[in-house]
Amino acid sequence: MGVLNVTPDSFSDGGLYLEESAALAHGRELVAQGADLVDVGGESTRPGAEPVAPDLQRVRVVPVIARLSSLGAATSVDSSSVAVAEAAIAAGARLVNDVTAFRAEPEMAGLVADRDVDCCLMHMQGEPRTMQRNPRYGDVVDDVKAFLAERLEFAVREGVGEHRVLLDPGIGFGKTPAHNLELIDRLDELLSLGRPLVVGTSRKSFLGRLVDRPVGERLPGTIATNVLALERGASVFRVHDVQPVRDALITAQAALGARHRAGATVRRPWRPRPPAGPRTTTSRTS
């Protein structure tokens, strides 16, 4: 999953792809590097980020999604807004990546169900403006697992096909560096949830703190954490630097071999699927 931020303030590449032409060029480059999915977002979710109005998000992401989709690229929309997601799906997006796991706008579940698209539900303690203010857990893995189980249950209850759901433990979202490292180390404990696991460690600040590197020099840490996540059962990797991470994952998978692939509940490669189209069912959320 290649990251395409059409924003002025994302932590890693804010402003680089705010213009539509630059965003399209970068999206094509991500696909050329081997991205199976281009995740297009118009609102930064970095710590301290301010919310962006849905109308502005639509202006930023919908033309990019429409053009990339018309070129044959599989796209997703990174948004918690129903209005943005609806427009993005109409433009060709195959997946809704909701960092609030349908909590910001519960009716998002109904939209995903009705359009029969994939979704990614992520754990986050708090919200972007406040999430890094002294996050606390009893046991971070147990707490994240319980949260994801509850959100999966909610999505299915609202009509989303379980086969359409991916789960993301939310590395860096309301977690200390120690929490992030423990989640990576014990990621295999989330496999019993029965859904593909998404991991997003790319260029994040906890990697920089470990080795005292600025955001542009965190590729080695990104590769290391993604390889570890692969070994522990992750099957979707949200990254900025697609080709080097992809090469590392292919190499690691070959070295781990069949014994590794057979050892997990969910370790099959995940690929985006086209929407099946609107259904007659609707959300039961009031």
- List the domain boundaries for the chain: 2-262
pLDDT tens sequence across 69-102: 999 999 999 999 999 999 999 999 999 999 999 9
Q: Are 247 and 205 a contacting pair, CB within 8 Å? A: no
Q: Are 73 and 28 a contacting pair, CB within 8 Å? A: yes
CA nearest 27: which of 50, 48, 3?
Answer: 3
Query: Quick one: 137 exposed, middle or buried, by C-beta within 10 A (0-12, 13-18, 19+)?
Result: middle
Domain 2-262, CATH among 3.20.20.20, 3.30.1340.10, 3.40.50.80, 3.40.50.300: 3.20.20.20
pTM beyond 0.85, yes or no: yes
* Residues classed as catalytic: 204, 238
What span, in angstroms and rounded, lies between the C-alpha atoms of 50 and 91?
A: 26
Which mean pLDDT values do the consecutive 10-residue runs of the chain (286 residues) have? 90 80 97 97 84 96 98 97 98 98 98 98 85 87 98 98 97 95 98 97 96 96 98 97 97 83 56 70 38
Q: Can you tell me whether residue 85 is helix, strand or coil? A: helix
Question: Which whole-number Å values give the CA distances from 280 to 77, 105, 110, 157, in the listed order?
Answer: 23, 21, 11, 16
